Amino acid sequence: MSPIFQGRFTGKFRELKTTTKSPILIFSLALLTLAPEGRAQDISRQKIIVFKNKNLTAEQKQSLLEQAGGEALFAVDSINAVVGYFPYGMDKSLAKSSLVGSVEDDAYVKLMPTFTGSDPRGEPGEDMPWGVASVWAPDVWGLAEGNGVKVCVVDSGIDREHFDLKANIAGGKNFWDDPSNPGDDYQDELGHGTHVTGIIAASRNNLGLVGVAPQSFIYVSKVFGPQGFTSISRIIAGVDYCISVGAQVVNMSLGTYDDFEAFHAVIRKAYDQGVVLVAAAGNSSIFGVAFPAAYPEVISVAALDENNQPAWFSSRGERVDLIAPGVDVPSTYPPGSYRGLSGTSMASPHVAGIAALFLSYRPGTDSRDVKHILKSTAIRLDGVSPFIQGAGVTNAYRTLLMIKREERRGAIN
Ligand SMILES: [Ca+2]
């Protein structure tokens, strides 16, 4: 993503000027009051426009938006999109233009609820979290620790000074504060992103605890603020950033039950470039699997407890691919500490970590092969529906063993 329209957008809070009292508007007003002034523009008047014509210049797109009564806020280059602000609504001619592929309203996305568990720490030395052990990650560290694999975490940022994480941070951007001009301050103000990242990449340093792929490189794509909500346009910009830094794995412990064409477009773009995409299935058995987990390009992960039982909250449906530890999972937490949390948000990074182990062992493996092998080597739980567990519990040891076998057969290079 590049801030091509930087300077045109003030980034200031805009007041609603309307007398309409629709339930949707009231809902967005209620959410807006949660946002500190200057940090959230009125996204109910924002639209995400994906252009069909790849040859349009930034100036031409800007001009088209202005003709339709709007102003451009920021561009998402990988999908040829622009996010625009339309204070008085949009002239319909833009949506009908042959140059335009889709026009969608921007929308708020809340982080999935996360349930608090017990305090995982207390002993000196380094703990082996039960989740890391139960996916058999330590059993393959002699072969692979995720060395140098670029993992991009789209979340609430990271505790940059955490001694169990900072060695593995390769870079990051903050899309929360001002997506038209993403800054370098991606400090986590919520805790969620720090916890998720520790599951993937907490260091093996004889302190604290350890993650699944302790030598992986983390790129931090901060899209959530301190209250745990964001806009779909920020998430799209955050995934676009992951593509731009050459991420090999993207973890998305987030979800929405609305399907956005522009979101799916950026997911497809990443997938087509060989990125392994992993997402939380969701924490609602009522509403099923959330997006992006429900997109076929994404590895969708349900949550499991320490006794190999599926979590009560874990979303179910035919789009569940795998199940991984997600109940009372210990990991890093700001500032400089540790906490146990539960949610499919915690399950997804276990699988992202194994994907990083896989790619450090065999760099360049196609993302389709990664998904296929992770699923075909999973351990199926007896008596549990595939709608709850997908192909089963992900397992690092069986995954790497399978690669060796396939190589011997000449099935993969
Ligand atoms: Ca450690």
Evaluate whether 393 touches 399 at the Cβ level (below 8 Å): no
pLDDT in tens, 239-281: 999 999 999 999 999 999 999 999 999 999 999 999 999 999 9
Please name the amino acid found at residue 211.
Answer: G
Strands (E), 223-378: 229-231, 249-252, 276-280, 299-304, 322-325, 329-333, 337-342
CATH number of 23-106: 3.30.70.80
What pairing do the DSSP bridges indicate for beta strands 299-304 and 322-325? parallel
Instruction: Name the active-site residue from 155, 159, 321, 369.
Output: 155
- Output the pTM of the full model: 0.88
* Residue closest to 199 by CA, chosen among 311, 394, 329: 329
The partner residues of 342 in beta bridges, in order of sequence, read 115
Name the more confident of 413 and 71: 71
pLDDT in tens, 168-189: 999 999 999 999 999 999 999 9
Measure CA 343 to chain center: 14
Instruction: Name the active-site residue from 44, 203, 233, 345.
Output: 345
DSSP symbol at 4? T
Give yes or no: 350 in active site.
no
What's the CA-to-centroid distance between 203 and ligand 1, angstroms? Answer: 4
Give yes or no: 195 in active site.
no
SS3 string of 54-81?
CCCCHHHHHHHHHHCCCEEEEEEHHHCE
Residues lying with their CB under 5 A of ligand 1, a single-atom ion: 126, 164, 203, 205, 207-208, 210
Using DSSP's 3-state secondary structure scheme, residue 244 falls into helix
Give yes or no: 77 in active site.
no
pLDDT in tens, 73-121: 999 999 999 999 999 999 888 999 999 999 999 999 988 778 876 666 6
Domain extent listing, the chain: 23-106, 115-409
What's the CA-to-centroid distance between 209 and ligand 1, angstroms? Answer: 4
What's the CA-to-centroid distance between 217 and ligand 1, angstroms? Answer: 15
CATH number of 115-409: 3.40.50.200
Which segments of 245-366 does DSSP mark as H helices, in order? 261-272, 344-361
